[in-house]
A = this chain, B = another copy of it.
Amino acid sequence: MQPSITPVILCGGSGTRLWPRSRATKPKPFLPLLGSATLFEATIARAAPEHGFAAPIVVTGAAHVDHVEAQLGTMPEASIIVEPVARNTAAAIALAAFRLPDDAIMLVCPSDHHIADPAAFRAAANRAAALAAEGFLVSFGIEAKSPETGFGYLERGEPIAHDGFRVARFVEKPDRARAEAFVAGGRHAWNGGIFAFRVGTFLAELMAHRPAIHAAARAAVAAGQADGRRFHPGAAEFDGFKPESVDYAVMENTGQAAMVPVDMGWSDIGSWDALHAALPHDAEGNSVQGEAELVDCHNVLVSSDGPRVSVIGLQDVIVVVDGNEVLVTSRTGTQLVGKLKGASQQ
């Protein structure tokens, strides 16, 4: 009998890569980028109680808590941990862990990713939870469909139960040639930042490898104050450590790192180009959100919050209209969006 799984939804980030739709005041998780639901709403729905999951814990900051409340809806068992300050994922997950019993299984999920096949996600979550219950720290190993150089990769080691593998090696953002070899070789998967941990195991490994984070999170939770379904950890206590990702702080140091391979139509929607790829296309490869007329266009994405957009004779171009900002970029140019004045000065 498997314990029920508690989704721990991480809601941080500034989302400059999808500027101007994504703004500091309304970042990526809270936007309906791929239909009527926002990425946050879809994340909650994917692991909702109706699918057998426990009520979620959302970890977010004061800047986003109103968006979280509005989009979480009426879910009385859900809770929201309001971080005093953003300190990367190891500490965020630790705050949630200290709010749970040792034998609970946490399913850590970013809130700004797209998953086209939620059933495949849930099947992988159950396999990962089963491995976590056996003492593994489990990453989702997302099938690498293309030689992305912006992702971390997990190399498969020895097979274990539940169609899982030990992680032989973590590889941060490889160069192009290496990424191509990974895809061709079939032994590497993308690290999508989705994890299953038994709470007790996670905290023990955190204490072993990053005692300062462990101590600060424990003290902050001990000093915290509940306010309805919100929980405010102590701000003074949540300090005195180096902010690190859970990958650096724990996963790359533990001897119990495992992975479950999964193919679930995943995208981090990490750029306008990635969003275009995740959207439905017409026969010419064009996608339109809002009112648009496209003439002699191929692989063009138009996303407008109001004005009509007319495009003639372009290929591989993305046009975004949002309030007082218009973005027009080549597909490769989407990597530079976060560096634009508009995106960085907001």
Contacts and interface: CB of A to CB of B under 8 A. Distances in A.
Nearest to A292: B326
A313 B330 contact: yes
Interface in A287-345: 293, 295-296, 304, 306-314, 317, 319, 321, 323-330, 332-334, 336-337, 339-342
Contact of A312 (B311, B313, B326, B336): B336
Contact of A314 (B311, B323, B328, B341): B328
Contacts of A342: 293, 308, 310
Interface string A132-143: 000000000000
A265 to B, nearest CB: 28
A120 B334 CA distance: 47
A334 B311 CA distance: 10
A187 to B, nearest CB: 34
Contacts of A324: 306-308
B341 A312 contact: no
Contacts of A339: 295
Nearest to A334: B312
A326 B295 CA distance: 14
Contact of A310 (B296, B313, B325): B325
A312 B17 CA distance: 13
A339 B293 CA distance: 11
B319 A317 contact: no
Given A340-B293, A341-B293, A314 B312 contact: no
A292 to B, nearest CB: 9
Nearest to A315: B330
A283 B304 CA distance: 31
A174 to B, nearest CB: 24
Interface in A254-307: 293, 295-296, 304, 306-307
A307 B326 contact: yes
B296 A312 contact: no
A326 B321 contact: yes
10 contacts: A307-B326, A309-B328, A310-B329, A310-B341, A311-B327, A312-B328, A312-B329, A314-B317, A314-B330, A321-B326
The 7 closest A-B pairs by CB, nearest first: A312-B333, A313-B333, A313-B330, A312-B329, A309-B326, A307-B324, A311-B328
Given A307-B321, A310-B325, 4 more contacts: A295-B339, A310-B329, A312-B329, A314-B328
